[in-house]
Amino acid sequence: MNHEPGARPFFPPEVVVQIKALACELPADSGLPLSRFSRQDLVREVTQRGIVAQISGTTIWRWLNEDAIRPWQHRSWIFPRDPHFEQKAGRVLDLYQGHWREQALSSDEFVISADEKTSIQARLRLHPTQPPQPGQSMRVEFEYERGGALAYLAAWDVRRAKIFGGCDSTTGIAPFGSLVQQVMSQYPYRKAKRVFWIVDNGSSHRGQTACERLQKNYANLVLVHLPVHASWLNQVEIYFSVVQRKVLTPNDFPSLSTVAKRLLDFQGYYEQIAQPFEWKFTRVELQKLVAKLSTQTSAALAA
């Protein structure tokens, strides 16, 4: 190790590899009551194991930050368990590309992506929000009273960038039916050849029963279900993420009716500037994903 003043300490490559490997392990595998290592946890562990006599947390951070693996980061995910995942996902991706059963959609066929955003609260802050000042960001009171909650149901026209929606006290068959009626009673959907509705498997529109119920009322409506646990394939979720950032964060509303008005006003505002989402996940990427998941499953079963 170089101890000259101002010089960066030198560690042999095998030491760097050992420390990176340790950082990628679960601490519980070493008998430590931790969910993940911090920099100082790693400093203590590598010195106790005798890998190095002395090292700084900054040095460890630099090595890990330069590497492709980020052991301190994690995200939740759900492994696809739908036995027909590729088939169901593929037909939705085809619709996004303007095809259905290998036929191009005509100009009088439309694709709607719909879902519900549930349990949107009105949080009545116990002290007024303070505006930003020089050197100080906006301050939102931590404590609040609950002013109730509502559900926001929305339908996104994938190819025309049109948004429809409404608020209700809950979700269910009736609120979703109202959303469908709101769209299907308008031109051009009322007289369209076909209107494809992409939905998840929520109770409001689940299974063949929902298909039959909706087609009975709207002969040109085709309900298309996503695979189970695949809401990330539903384009309306992108719109909901915009709503979360631009409308609901921070949540500081004087009443539930104010929340509803803000959501519906935002629809009109957003539609003026909206463009169709640039959807890049196609059947090619789907095939790669399925192959990757198949490999992971085989490896897990063999372990």
- The CATH number given to whatever domain includes residue 193 is 3.30.420.10
Structural domain includes residue 298: no
Structural domain includes residue 259: yes
Q: Which two tokens stand for residue 297?
A: 């499953």
Structural domain includes residue 76: no
Are residues 185 and 225 located together in one domain of the fold?
yes
Structural domain includes residue 113: yes
For residue 265, the number of C-alpha atoms closer than 13 Å in the C-beta half-sphere is 9
Whole-Å CA distances, 144 to 186, 244, 247: 41, 19, 18
Phi, psi of 170 (to 5 degrees): -155, 175
Q: How far apart are CA 17 and CA 15, in angstroms?
A: 5
Considering only CA atoms, which of 47, 48, 179 is closest in space to residue 117? 179
pLDDT of residue 261: 97
Are residues 172 and 219 located together in one domain of the fold?
yes
Are residues 38 and 90 located together in one domain of the fold?
no
Stated pTM of the model? 0.82
Q: State which residues form the domain around 45.
A: 13-66
Are residues 47 and 103 located together in one domain of the fold?
no
Are residues 53 and 180 located together in one domain of the fold?
no
Beta-carbon contacts of 152 under 8 Å, excluding residues fewer than 6 positions away, are: 116, 117, 120, 165, 166, 167, 243, 263
Alpha carbon 9 to its chain centroid, in Å, reads 42
Are residues 98 and 223 located together in one domain of the fold?
yes
pLDDT band of residue 3 (cuts 50, 70, 90) is low
Which H/E stretch holds residue 168?
strand 162-168
Are residues 51 and 146 located together in one domain of the fold?
no
Structural domain includes residue 302: no
For the stretch 137-148, pLDDT in tens is 999 999 999 999
Are residues 94 and 182 located together in one domain of the fold?
yes
What's the structural domain count of the chain?
A: 2
Q: How far apart are CA 150 and CA 240, in angstroms?
A: 14
Are residues 120 and 172 located together in one domain of the fold?
yes
Are residues 52 and 146 located together in one domain of the fold?
no
Structural domain includes residue 123: yes
Which H/E stretch holds residue 86?
helix 85-96
pLDDT of residue 194: 98
CB 37 within 8 A of CB 45: yes
pLDDT band of residue 296 (cuts 50, 70, 90) is confident
CA dihedral for 31, 37, 42, 46, sign (positive or negative): positive
Q: For the CA atoms of 173, 176, 182, 185, what is the dihedral angle to 10 degrees?
A: -50
Are residues 51 and 192 located together in one domain of the fold?
no
Structural domain includes residue 266: yes
Structural domain includes residue 157: yes
Are residues 176 and 236 located together in one domain of the fold?
yes
For the stretch 87-111, pLDDT in tens is 999 999 999 999 999 999 999 999 9
Q: How far apart are CA 277 and CA 288, in angstroms?
A: 22
